[in-house]
Amino acid sequence: MAEAPIAVTTDRRLLRGERTRQAILTHASRVASAEGLEAVSLQRLASDLGISKSGLFAHFGSKEELQLATVEEASRTFTEEVLKPGLKTPAGLGRVWALCNAFLSYVEREVFLGGCFFEAAVAEFDSKPGRIRDAVVEKRDYWVASLGRAIRAAKEMGDVQQDVDADQVAWELSCLLVGANGSFVQNGGNVGLERARRAIRDRLERIAMAGAFPGLGSDTRAELESAARSRTLSVGEVLYSADGPARVGVLVSGLLRTVVPMPDGRRVTLHHIRSGGIYGLTTIFHPVPLRIEVVCRAIVIEIDPATIKRVARKSADLGWHISQQLAGAVLQVPAMIEEFGFKPVRQRVARHLLDLCVRDPHQGLLVARVTRQALAESVGSVREVVSRCLRSFSDAGLITVASATITILDPEALQQLG
């Protein structure tokens, strides 16, 4: 639901006019949500707001123009409340979940009293051809297409298999969201919203499992899924430690990191696990002297380690997939030795910034949301040393630093450093 650029003016008369117009449209969108767009008329708003009808006419030349402007205002609200929050999450299955959850939150918080503005408007104008119906359908189609784009991006990231039909999944998710909206409007309470959340998570978990274990037969996958359970984890929670039981799973959304203690007491981050990634396979065979920690609130699918071992013994495809994963981990060891044994802190900071950064969907820039202290712990150094590195990067025009946010201006130069 793209927004038109807003012209900036310092003329006080024009500013008052813009504020008046905004107040009119805010009220109009609330009336339309609760009573329908047909209830939005010049006469009705003049009465509600204490404005003359001729004054309203100066802003909107007709009832239809007023209704079209109300649709645009509702679209602006939807963008602020649903699209922008959802798109802050990095591309992958996590973004799909974030978009769905943002929609459910928008309904739950009653941003519009009548539930989702566009679901109500589509029902109202479904059999009324014309400009208003076209505008409403266009906005709603854009939302469903946004879900489809997020799923296709997850395919490109490798979170789901290439044969997943993105448009089909987007349609299914949209239907669940529409049902949750209808349940909330008709019955109140959060039962329908929570059922939708469970159903959406179940759908995303199934395609996450398929993406994490590609090429498995349906029977093998079904055995693994029968031994899987979903967990929601908070920031800082420890998912695995050497003195705990084996943990194996797939990250659906969020961010994890593997941390290893050094002999001098420092802790260093070996690597980050993003949505679609598998964690803990090595723990099936023996305890590993590291920790898996939650960096951003995460949803994971944990799979019973004993079931994985049992199924792998009879499934060549699963056994081969586990072998590939473990071989990849072994191949990373020389690079890790070089990273923490020989590379200076400056290079480690550059690499970790690139590891953590995501593209801001609105500004198009790469942003790493991390504090200096957290970055120091990740690279096995201290805050003062990392602060000097960041200052030198900033002086060279590679980054800008704000509180807990680092914007990457020249990723190519950082890549060469790291």
Q: Where are the domains of the chain?
A: 12-209, 219-338, 345-417
The answer to whether the Cα torsion of 105, 106, 111, 116 is positive or negative is: negative
Q: Can you tell me the distance from the alpha carbon of 26 to that of 237, in angstroms, rounded to the nearest whole number? A: 42
pLDDT-derived band at 4 (thresholds 50, 70, 90) equals very low
- pLDDT (tens digit, 9 = 90+) per residue, 258-267? 888 877 777 7
pLDDT range class, residue 7, cuts 50, 70, 90: very low
- H helices of 42-190, in order, are 42-49, 53-59, 63-78, 84-87, 93-108, 117-125, 131-157, 166-187
Going by pLDDT thresholds of 50, 70 and 90, the confidence category of residue 101 is very high
Helices (H), 247-371: 305-314, 316-341, 345-356
At how many degrees (to 10) do helices 166-187 and 191-212 cross? 160
CATH number of 345-417: 1.10.10.10
**pLDDT of res. 58:** 64
CA–CA distance, 265 with 262 (Å, rounded to integer): 5
Question: In terms of Cα–Cα distance, which of 347, 323, 325, 318 is closest to 335?
Answer: 347
Calculated CA dihedral for residues 275, 265, 373, 406, nearest 10 degrees: -50
User: CA 42, CA 67: separation in Å to the nearest integer?
Assistant: 10
For residue 191, pLDDT over 70 is answered with yes
Q: What are the residues facing 232 on neighbouring strands?
A: 299
pLDDT, mean of residues 84-94: 87
Give the per-residue pLDDT at 371: 85
**Residue 405 CA from chain centroid, whole number:** 18
pLDDT tens track for 130-140: 999 999 999 99
What is residue 57's predicted lDDT score, i.e. its pLDDT?
63
Fold agreement between 12-209 and 219-338: no
Nearest to 172, CA basis, from 139, 199, 195: 199
Is the pLDDT reported for residue 6 higher than 50?
no
Distance between CA 189 and CA 183 in Å, rounded?
9
Give the per-residue pLDDT at 265: 72
Query: Out of 10-14, 175-179, 243-247, 269-273, which region has the weakest mean confidence (pLDDT)?
Result: 10-14
pLDDT of residue 177: 96
What pairs with residue 256 in β-bridges?
273, 294
The rounded radius of gyration (Å) of the Cα atoms in the chain is 26
What is the DSSP secondary structure assignment for residue 163, as one 8-state letter?
A: T
Locus of tokens 């723990």 = 283
Interacting residues of 201 by C-beta distance below 8 A, sequence separation 6+ = 97, 230, 252, 299
Planar angle of CA 396, 402, 407, nearest 5 degrees = 55
Give the orientation angle of helix 383-395 with respect to helix 372-379, to 10 degrees.
110
Model confidence band, residue 411 (pLDDT cutoffs 50, 70, 90) = confident
List pLDDT tens digits, range 366-395. 888 888 888 888 887 888 998 999 999 999
Q: What is the pLDDT of residues 156-174, one digit of tens each?
A: 877 887 788 999 999 999 9
Tell which CATH architecture fits domain 219-338.
Sandwich (2.60)
CA distance 248 to 296: 18
Q: What is the pLDDT of residue 13?
A: 54
- Integer Cα distance of 25 and 30 in angstroms: 9
Identify the residue with better confidence: 378 or 176. Answer: 176
pTM of structure = 0.71
Tokens of 267: 């802790």
Instruction: Tell me the mean pLDDT in the region 82-87.
Output: 92
Position 105 scores a pLDDT of 94
Q: Which residue is associated with the tokens 């920790």?
A: 291
What pLDDT, on a 0 to 100 scale, did the predictor assign at position 170? 96
Helix, strand, coil percent values for the chain (each to nearest 5): 60, 15, 25
Give me the sign of the Cα torsion angle 260, 264, 266, 269. negative
- Architecture of domain 12-209 in CATH? Orthogonal Bundle (1.10)
> How confident is the prediction for the chain on average, in pLDDT?
85
Query: Residue 53's pLDDT is what?
Result: 67
What are the distances in angstroms from CA 413 to CA 170, 181, 200, 396, 416? 38, 47, 40, 10, 5
Q: According to the model, what pLDDT value does residue 168 have?
A: 95
Average pLDDT for 389-402 = 90
Neighbours of 327 (CB within 10 A): 9
53-69: pLDDT as tens digits: 666 666 777 888 888 98
- Give CA–CA dist 167/262, Å, rounded: 47
